[in-house]
Chain A
């Protein structure tokens, strides 16, 4: 049977021959639970985020954007007189007066460049003033007149505007077919045919998007809250018609992003514009209430999943059809049917995406785009199938673990889902589980347990890095990586220390600025692999150079650089994915319909874990966001006004402390996985997989508790209580 410990081990053993390299020095730092290098700064308030200057220049101005109050139409007039008459107002930029920019790839960045309003909340003016209160007051005093058009913001499964795009996000083909899924489904003795709905969701990082911009002559310096200073740099240069050396972007500390800061967002363009227009440094921090409309969201997804199986649980047909929305100005299609291509062996498969363009903000990445919603649907359906078969849901997944990637036919570089499921079941006490639903009652509470699998692809981007051997015996690593809370600084220093064969504390690391060697953004769980490979290569080269070097170091030290463009461009003959298993125990209050998570466990196979301390934190963090997706988070598109009703943190409920179990009732583990087909560190990305299986595990646990199958998230009392009646 594929997927057992034995066969997995042998797969690893046979592929070990193709190992790219063996570390030069015995590993010491990697794998150690090193503390975050910036920890002291973060617990003392010394860590400064985008607009947080130790000394704000006395001439610094503050900008405050004005959002559109219609969902579709055109700006016909912007009356700035009242705003300009207020004390402290410096300027009001409008589509008529704002500096003209170059054409952006992302139409969402063409702010104040035209009069069209593609969605409610689109920025139609920008007030700039001496102080924050002045800026807020000036923005409120701007009077905008519109020629409003009828709008349509409501996603329905049979929307006449639905179309099948070429590709879904991530470059995945929108449609994949193997065999004849419909015929195999019809012929299968056991079926599940179910629809699931996931509402729009919002990233809501704790730090709202913010930027500080300053022009020194023709040089633009921006401090931006971004997941990648590099993309911001490229976009600003293009928009403002500058050479690359005329722009500097710094993203030193970033208060979370979860995808919403992956590419430049309108605030940074506005800040640079305002600074140019007024000739003053400008701070622009978006109000929390604007974020729902202007920095992206996870699009709502409607899922139809059809599973056909033999009576022994062997899948014969897997179909996952997804309908989602996108905006009128930019196609973004949540790739929610993609994980069904890789998860389970089935001779017949159909996976499709359809998109409906609506007068809504452009959706964007939110932690595990595609996988998070897609796996909620697929793993809920697998649980339904297990119930229909009378088969343990862990066993059902084990039974359908494929030997090779069902979609590409390629071998997996490593796949230890079965080990995750088995180890998770052991740690969770799954063997003692009574599979019958709705039989565990404690007073007014029903309790239950559930399981779901998780997957996330291995992604990689080209990066450069340099490392310098210094006179004082230290090593300075430079790479324009971004630490959005992942621990990137720390793990890159660990990679460098091992590649150099030196102690961790002799490595200094500089990240988060476009003055540093070019590097990709923090996204797609690919940062450590992408930056780390370049750091590793530079350190390896430096080690070789130092070995050849005779005599004292030159004054400037000895530097080596690396560029992994070639390595990253290779397409290895393997399917490369991380896998995991999530287990949840819930209680459902039959009085109120309130669902709370009692226990949550994740077990992962994600290559080599480079820093168990920060890895565990990231895994649990992803699980916590998954808990929110399952139980508390949703945005509601208001059909009448065309905006998300939840525009603050009082109405958009991210989980609070009280929602999340504490240790030992929540934890993350991993199985040792040696995969030589990844990168020199042997790591897979870990930032997103934690969210992937959690919602389905919780939903399946709620079914086990109540006997009721909910197919729409989140599981709030308005949904749960009526079903319990």
Chain B
């Protein structure tokens, strides 16, 4: 870590202006991942613009029933919020499945969306990694990759997104609100994270200097049955081998009216299972229909040498969670 400057912003405008004025500036919120990566030498900011005390720490219900979550709301506060627990249990559960109590007290909503892969080759500056240093190659593809992607990876990168929260947000049709030099804009969370393609160095569609100001949960998924399940190497405090976030609404006739299904631990971004959703919509969510739909999605999987187990793992998790929701 080289010495760097530090400025604490008092407003969103001040933050983005400070960021724009300083080459090599990075926003600091909770810092749980940024400080970690700075110690690894992966992040080398010249200035930290501290946004952790911006007035973005509120959770607010909008007149239409949508929920606006400020970017600096701590993960623990978001998980414990009554409206989140009661209307979006999948989000509360996903947050509580991640990290630890003390980390969730630090980590923010915006920061969680921006956390970077835990790929060991990415974290080790002495090894090749196209994400960290484009053009150097991917150490994981032929290396140790049990934990890596089975969906949507590219020849350049097989990293996974480590977030639990983002998987729930993907299933909930959340949107991400951004503020930057170009003004405000809104991006569906499913479009916020990128697939690696030819540019694995870009995790998200965030433009330089843009700041996440809020995440919006739409009213249409509020109150629907939802759940999060995560499989991991130890019983707690571990990243997902695979996880599933599901929202399922069945109409009075027993047919699927709405479904949101997303996988974690399988891809460079939370993997919204559109194929499976399309297959399920409008028909009764029988065990057979669920299995058929999930298989259709996971038919896209291209497992690597050592991570084929993730496909049946994700399949079992998804079938289990959807079946449980269907029985509610």
* CB–CB B236/A658 < 8 A: yes
B147 → chain A, closest Cβ, in Å? 8
Give the chain B neighbours of A656 by CB distance below 8 A. 234-238
A639–B306 CA distance with the chains assembled, in angstroms: 14
* CB–CB A645/B143 < 8 A: yes
A650–B237 CA distance with the chains assembled, in angstroms: 8
A607–B295 CA distance with the chains assembled, in angstroms: 59
B115 → chain A, closest Cβ, in Å? 12
* CB–CB B235/A640 < 8 A: no
Q: A140-B41, A591-B320, A640-B139 are in contact. Are A645 and B120 (CB under 8 A)?
A: yes
List the B residue with the shortest CB-CB distance to A120: B126
B146 → chain A, closest Cβ, in Å? 6
8 A Cβ contacts from A122-159 to B: 133, 136-137, 140
> Which of B127, B142, B143, B234 touches A632 (beta carbons < 8 Å)?
B234
B238 → chain A, closest Cβ, in Å? 6
* CB–CB B1/A136 < 8 A: yes
* CB–CB A632/B1 < 8 A: no
Give the chain A neighbours of B126 by CB distance below 8 A. 69
Residue B179 is within 8 A (CB to CB) of chain A in the complex: no
Q: Give B1-42 as 1s and 0s: 1 = Cβ < 8 Å from A's Cβ atoms.
A: 111000000000000000000000000000000000001010
Q: Which of B69-77, B153-161, B199-207, B310-318 contacts A (4 or more CB under 8 A)?
A: B310-318
Residue B241 is within 8 A (CB to CB) of chain A in the complex: yes
B20 → chain A, closest Cβ, in Å? 26
Q: Give A279-293 as 1s and 0s: 1 = Cβ < 8 Å from B's Cβ atoms.
A: 000000000000000
Give the chain B neighbours of A590 by CB distance below 8 A. 316
Q: A444-B320, A591-B320 are in contact. Are A136 and B39 (CB under 8 A)?
A: yes
Q: Which of A325-333, A425-433, A717-725 contacts B (4 or more CB under 8 A)?
A: A717-725
Give the chain B neighbours of A636 by CB distance below 8 A. 144, 146
* CB–CB B234/A717 < 8 A: no
Q: A592-B316, A592-B317 are in contact. Are A650 and B143 (CB under 8 A)?
A: no
Residue A651 is within 8 A (CB to CB) of chain B in the complex: yes
Main secondary structure of the interface of B (DSSP, over half): loop
Q: Give B101-127 as 1s and 0s: 1 = Cβ < 8 Å from A's Cβ atoms.
A: 000000000000000001010001011
Residue B286 is within 8 A (CB to CB) of chain A in the complex: no
Residue A641 is within 8 A (CB to CB) of chain B in the complex: yes
Give the chain B neighbours of A86 by CB distance below 8 A. 2
* CB–CB A651/B118 < 8 A: yes
> Which of B234, B241, B316 touches A658 (beta carbons < 8 Å)?
B234
Residue B233 is within 8 A (CB to CB) of chain A in the complex: yes
Residue A655 is within 8 A (CB to CB) of chain B in the complex: yes
List the A residue with the shortest CB-CB distance to B44: A140
Q: A87-B3, A136-B39, A651-B120 are in contact. Are A721 and B312 (CB under 8 A)?
A: yes
Give the chain B neighbours of A717 by CB distance below 8 A. 231, 233, 241, 309, 313
Give the chain A neighbours of B231 by CB distance below 8 A. 592-594, 717
A716–B139 CA distance with the chains assembled, in angstroms: 23
Give the chain B neighbours of A645 by CB distance below 8 A. 120, 143-144
B117 → chain A, closest Cβ, in Å? 12
* CB–CB A592/B139 < 8 A: no
* CB–CB A641/B127 < 8 A: yes
Give the chain A neighbours of B228 by CB distance below 8 A. none
Residue A638 is within 8 A (CB to CB) of chain B in the complex: yes
Give the chain B neighbours of A650 by CB distance below 8 A. 118, 238-239
A646–B144 CA distance with the chains assembled, in angstroms: 10
Residue A659 is within 8 A (CB to CB) of chain B in the complex: yes
List the B residue with the shortest CB-CB distance to A140: B41
* CB–CB B309/A718 < 8 A: yes
Residue A441 is within 8 A (CB to CB) of chain B in the complex: no
* CB–CB B312/A725 < 8 A: yes
Residue A48 is within 8 A (CB to CB) of chain B in the complex: no
Residue A653 is within 8 A (CB to CB) of chain B in the complex: yes
Give the chain A neighbours of B146 by CB distance below 8 A. 636, 718
A717–B308 CA distance with the chains assembled, in angstroms: 11
* CB–CB A640/B320 < 8 A: no
Residue A100 is within 8 A (CB to CB) of chain B in the complex: no
Residue A570 is within 8 A (CB to CB) of chain B in the complex: no
> Which of A137, A641, A722 touches B2 (beta carbons < 8 Å)?
A137
B77 → chain A, closest Cβ, in Å? 22
Q: A592-B316, A651-B120 are in contact. Are A718 and B144 (CB under 8 A)?
A: no
Q: Which 8 A-B pairs have the closest CB atoms?
A: A658-B236, A658-B235, A645-B144, A592-B231, A69-B126, A718-B309, A591-B316, A659-B235
Given A594-B231, A650-B118, A650-B239, 16 new contacts (CB under 8 A)? A137-B1, A137-B2, A596-B235, A638-B143, A641-B139, A645-B120, A656-B235, A656-B237, A658-B234, A658-B237, A659-B236, A717-B313, A718-B146, A718-B306, A721-B313, A722-B308
